């Protein structure tokens, strides 16, 4: 049975973005692909194999569940778990989690002394690989700079902990003014200098997100972590001059109803839209449950084979209405584009983010589970026997 909602993931575009980011990097720099939040809403089971084949060296996820899922879709390379995954539950729960970490060969983030103290009390059957996170100015997770030396010493004192990486994260690398980003890089460099004598050889240092990968070569160190850019979205519009990125996601549905309304007729909940003329109304089976947010009510735009159409009335949980009056006739089942590949279109991820007053990450990450993710090749077969 075909889904009413389909997200097409173009792996050729994804690989193009990976190679464009690789070209930005200094020679020998590894690329860690952040694949958290179901690969930013793009479907980890599609994205991970493509990036692994393209040569991604590492992956990063938010929690253990995501890490285990990544292994189940065939990811063979190292996985860094960014969250503090051992700060929950009783001893039994924590030991269960350690078992999963060892079974799947995961790299764990350490950001505080309490976690090292607890880990020193367990006796796992094999060593646990860890990366130390430093708060260089982001003000989120991470050891404070003046506590880093002691934390490194305590990690090195635990025989079954293997310190293989040290990292930090930028707060404003996507800004045109890089004052804070430059300061953060200086702070991180100072920390690395202080802890250097206590680090084992071969430690991977990493800090650069998408923006810093594109515009801050001094921040590349041994590895970069470009997330948003891998999927084709610019961290800042000004970076279009620095790199050619191609959005890798398109979302389509179909017309589930077409009807004519007289002037003065309500459309949707709350009577927020009243027809001022005879109106040809289309209904599309997508709503805020699917991540097409209610904020786009009377504000969104969709594409059709004969032109764009505005979203009118309140967006419901499962449906939205569009005004087809000014377009040539469309049949029941005609394809409707909710999100377009082309960043210049009114229904691109970037344009939707601007309409919503948010960032592209939120637009793609909120796409719901009722939207079936498929590759471009499968979509071409999918639509061969009729409208989506």
The set of residues, in sequence order, having a beta carbon less than 8 Å from that of 91 and lying 6+ positions away, is none
Q: Which of 30, 133, 269, 361 is catalytic?
A: 269
Beta strands 128-133 and 204-208, pairing class: unpaired
Q: Which of 36, 233, 288, 361 is catalytic?
A: 36
b vs e for 337-354, b when ≥16 Cβ sit within 10 Å of the residue's Cβ? bbbbbebebbbbbbbbbe
Helices and strands in the chain: count of H runs, count of E runs:
12, 17
Residue where the block lists tokens 């300061």 = 183
Are 257 and 283 in contact, with CB atoms under 8 Å apart? yes
3-state secondary structure of 242: coil
- The CB density around residue 124, as the number of other CB atoms within 10 Å, is 14
Are 339 and 301 in contact, with CB atoms under 8 Å apart? no
269 included as an active-site residue:
yes
Dihedral angle over CA of 215, 221, 223, 226, nearest 10: -20
198 included as an active-site residue:
no
- 300-305 — which CB contacts under 8 Å span 24+ positions? 300/347, 300/352, 300/355, 301/346, 301/347, 301/351, 302/336, 302/337, 302/338, 302/347, 303/336, 303/337, 303/340, 303/345, 303/346, 303/347, 304/330, 304/334, 304/335, 304/336, 304/337, 305/330, 305/334, 305/335
Are 376 and 46 in contact, with CB atoms under 8 Å apart? no
Dihedral angle over CA of 8, 9, 10, 14, nearest 10: 160
Q: How far apart are CA 105 and CA 76, in angstroms?
A: 10
Token output for 85: 């995954």
Catalytic amino acids?
Answer: 36, 269
């Amino acid at each position: 049975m075909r889904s009413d909602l389909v997200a097409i993931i173009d792996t050729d575009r994804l690989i193009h973005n990976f190679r464009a980011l690789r070209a930005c990097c200094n020679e020998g720099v590894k690329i860690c692909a952040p694949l958290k939040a179901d690969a930013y809403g793009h479907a980890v089971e599609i994205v991970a194999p493509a990036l692994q084949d393209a040569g991604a060296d590492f992956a990063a996820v938010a929690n253990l569940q995501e890490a285990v899922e990544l292994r189940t879709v065939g990811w063979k390379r190292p996985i860094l778990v960014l969250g503090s995954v051992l700060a929950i539950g009783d001893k039994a729960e924590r030991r269960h989690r350690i078992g999963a970490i060892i079974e799947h060969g995961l790299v764990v983030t350490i950001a505080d002394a309490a976690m090292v103290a607890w880990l020193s009390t367990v006796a796992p059957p094999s060593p646990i690989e860890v990366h130390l996170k430093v708060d260089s100015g982001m003000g989120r997770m991470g050891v404070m700079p003046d506590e880093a030396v002691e934390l490194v010493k305590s990690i090195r004192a635990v025989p079954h902990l293997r310190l293989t990486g040290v990292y930090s994260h930028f707060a404003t690398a996507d800004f045109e003014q890089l004052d804070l980003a430059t300061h953060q890089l200086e702070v991180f460099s100072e920390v690395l200098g202080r802890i250097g004598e206590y680090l084992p050889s071969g430690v991977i240092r990493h800090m650069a997100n998408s923006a810093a990968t594109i515009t801050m070569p001094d921040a590349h160190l041994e590895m970069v972590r470009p997330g948003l850019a891998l999927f084709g979205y610019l961290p800042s519009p000004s970076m279009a001059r620095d790199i050619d990125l191609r959005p890798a996601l398109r979302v389509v549905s179909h017309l589930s109803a077409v009807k004519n309304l007289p002037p003065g007729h309500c459309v949707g909940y709350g009577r927020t839209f009243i027809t001022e003329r005879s109106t040809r109304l289309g209904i599309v089976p997508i709503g805020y449950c699917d991540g097409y947010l209610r904020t786009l009510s009377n504000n969104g735009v969709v594409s059709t084979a004969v032109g764009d159409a505005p979203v009118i009335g309140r967006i419901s949980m499962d449906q939205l209405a569009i005004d087809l009056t000014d377009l040539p006739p469309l049949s029941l089942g005609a394809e409707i584009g909710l999100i377009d590949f082309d960043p210049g279109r009114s229904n691109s991820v970037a344009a939707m983010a601007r309409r919503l007053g948010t960032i592209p990450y939120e637009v793609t990450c909120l796409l719901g589970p009722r939207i079936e993710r498929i590759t471009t090749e499968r979509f071409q077969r999918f639509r061969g026997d009729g409208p989506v």
